[in-house]
């Protein structure tokens, strides 16, 4: 079985300061991991993905995430926040083993982290 | 490419009414999904399909039905709407199991 925990429901940072959104996962197999972003009243957009290649993954809009197997973490970071980064962020795990899902059979979403950017 | 599109964008229903939400994708993806999103709950999978003519239950299937008669379309039906089905509904598609999913813009449904 797989699960994902986003450790903060809300994160507030000032514009120009670093962003850290934390995600821990559990997986029985070698996982794929994703970060999605959802701007207000919009659908979800893929920010970046990890699929067992390089452990440091670069995504769009200056975001990156590091896969740390020993810590079962996949935290999302950005060196300098911009007002346009204000959104909801979802960490997602895919357990690529066979028959591991209940009814879901695919991706498991975290409950989201709301990122607030202070001017 | 339009990607994933959803129709309608907004809808208000009275309790007991029925409706169908349409999802279309032009990426030739095999897998399609319907989610609902509620405050503090993240996304929850309602039903999904692994190919034309197939459907399967997700985490919260009760009160919904789906059909995948054509590969590019995935329909979500509410036979008798209830206030608990007030939510934002997202459709998604992917080329394979456990690969990244591409999302539509969502449908905001209110059941009075």
What are the beta bridge partners of residue B23?
A: B6, B74
| Count, residues in chain B | 112
- Among the residue ranges A5-9, A95-99, B37-41, B61-65, the one predicted with the least confidence is A95-99
Distance CA A50, CA A58 (A): 9
Which residues in chain B touch residue A57, judged by CB atoms under 8 angstroms apart? none
- Position A102 scores a pLDDT of 38
Is B90 within 8 Å of A44 when comparing Cβ atoms? yes
Q: Which of A9, A5, A1, A30 is nearest to A113 (CA)?
A: A9
Q: Count the Cβ atoms, other than its own, within 10 Å of residue A2.
A: 21
Q: What is the pLDDT of residue A103?
A: 39
**Adjacent-strand bridge partners of A24:** A5, A73
Share of chain A above pLDDT 90, in %: 69
Q: What residue has token string 């690529």?
A: A96
Q: Which band of pLDDT confidence, cut at 50, 70 and 90, is reported for residue A2?
A: confident
Measure CB to CB from residue B58 to each of A34, A90, A103 and give the nearest one.
A103
pLDDT tens readout for residues A84-93: 999 999 999 8
How many CB pairs lie under 8 A apart between chains A and B? Answer: 59
Q: What is the pLDDT of residue A99?
A: 40
Q: Strands A107-109 and A87-95: what pairing? A: antiparallel
pLDDT tens-digit readout, B30-87: 999 999 999 888 889 999 999 999 999 988 999 999 999 999 999 999 999 999 999 9
DSSP 8-state class, residue B63: T
State whether B42 and A109 contact (CB < 8 Å). yes
**Residue pLDDT, tens place only, A65-77:** 999 999 999 999 9
Bridge partners of B94, per DSSP, are B31
Q: Both tokens of residue A74?
A: 């996949």
pLDDT one-digit tens code per residue, B14-28: 999 999 999 999 999
Which backbone phi and psi does A52 adopt, to 5 degrees? 80, 15
Please list every residue in chain B whose beta carbon sits closer than 8 Å to the beta carbon of residue A44: 43, 90, 92, 101, 103
């Amino acid at each position: 079985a797989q699960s994902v925990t986003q450790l903060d429901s809300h994160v507030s940072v000032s514009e120009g300061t670093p962003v850290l959104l934390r995600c821990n996962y559990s997986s029985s197999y070698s996982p794929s991991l994703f970060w999605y972003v959802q701007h207000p009243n919009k659908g979800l957009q893929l920010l970046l993905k990890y699929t067992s290649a390089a452990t440091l993954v670069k995504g769009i809009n200056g975001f990156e995430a590091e896969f740390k197997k020993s810590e079962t973490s996949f935290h999302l970071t950005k060196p300098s926040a911009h007002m346009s980064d204000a959104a909801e962020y979802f960490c997602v795990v895919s357990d690529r083993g066979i028959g591991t899902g209940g009814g879901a059979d695919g991706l498991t979403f975290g409950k989201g982290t709301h990122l607030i950017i202070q001017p | 490419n339009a990607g994933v599109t959803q129709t309608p964008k907004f809808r208000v229903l009275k309790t007991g009414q029925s409706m169908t939400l349409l999802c279309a994708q032009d990426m030739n993806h095999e897998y399609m999904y319907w989610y609902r999103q509620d405050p503090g709950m993240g996304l929850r999978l309602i039903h999904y399909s692994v190919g034309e003519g197939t459907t399967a239950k997700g985490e919260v299937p009760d009160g919904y039905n789906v059909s995948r008669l054509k590969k590019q379309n995935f329909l979500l039906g509410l036979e008798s709407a209830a206030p608990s089905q007030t939510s934002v509904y997202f459709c998604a598609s992917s080329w394979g199991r456990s690969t990244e999913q591409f999302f539509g813009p969502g449908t905001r449904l209110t059941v009075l």
